[in-house]
Amino acid sequence: MEFHFETKVVGAETKGGEVTVKAETKEGVKTFTGDKVLVSVGRRAVTQGLGLEALNVKIDKGNVIVDDKFQTNVPGLYAIGDLIDGPMLAHKAMEEGIAFAEMLAGQPGHVNYDAIPSVIYIWPEVASVGKTEEQLKEEGREYRVGKFPFVASSRAKSLDENEGMVKILADSKTDRLLGVHIFGPRASDMIAEAVTTIEFVGSAEDIARIVHAHPTLSEAMGEAARAAYFGKAIHI
């Protein structure tokens, strides 16, 4: 898989069952050929046609503005999910709905936006939660990295799915878990352990000392945590 950054697609055409994409780069115009082209340009909130303008509801860059209780600037009018700021994920919207219902019932509803997992359902899968290395570098935060490849996982080998790895980011001083990124089989399920640890302000050591059943894919999480905390995984 090859990535081309700072590359702007300016056109595409099909001929004889082949697709040619023209793009502008720093070096000049480039062309790419293939059987198919997948276009992904992101998503945005659909706020038009809802009558929000007539009510003078505040909108910023297409998103409805709400306070910490999901209320808009119009008293009694609330918004959650894809209409407001944050990742456009079904589970994020659902948790906001639950939190809002709890608030209506007089309970302390809460959503931890630092512990919302993101999953790309390709195969092998990609899943992540928390910070990326790029974000931590921008923040100037010191961190440790622990990695473990699925090629060293006995369960991944037995499934013939040993591509990918688990990467764990932990604070250099406190060992607090800052981010987990998984590329590999069942990453969408494995990320739940990392989400739980971040939610309860856990550390890489916490995951490292959890007994993971053998042989399972989850052992890769434990090994990556050992690499982050102890400096080295055991089975590699």
Name the residues annotated as catalytic: 214
Q: H/E element holding 135?
A: helix 133-139
CA distance 147 to 223: 8
Helix (DSSP H) and strand (DSSP E) numbers for the chain: 6, 10
Give the amino acid at 151: V
CA distance 130 to 65: 24
Alpha carbons 93 and 89: distance in angstroms, whole number: 6
Please work out, in degrees rounded to the nearest 5, the angle formed at the alpha carbon of residue 25 by the alpha carbons of 24 and 29: 50
With beta carbons less than 8 A apart as the criterion, state whether 180 and 169 touch.
Answer: yes
CA distance 43 to 25: 25
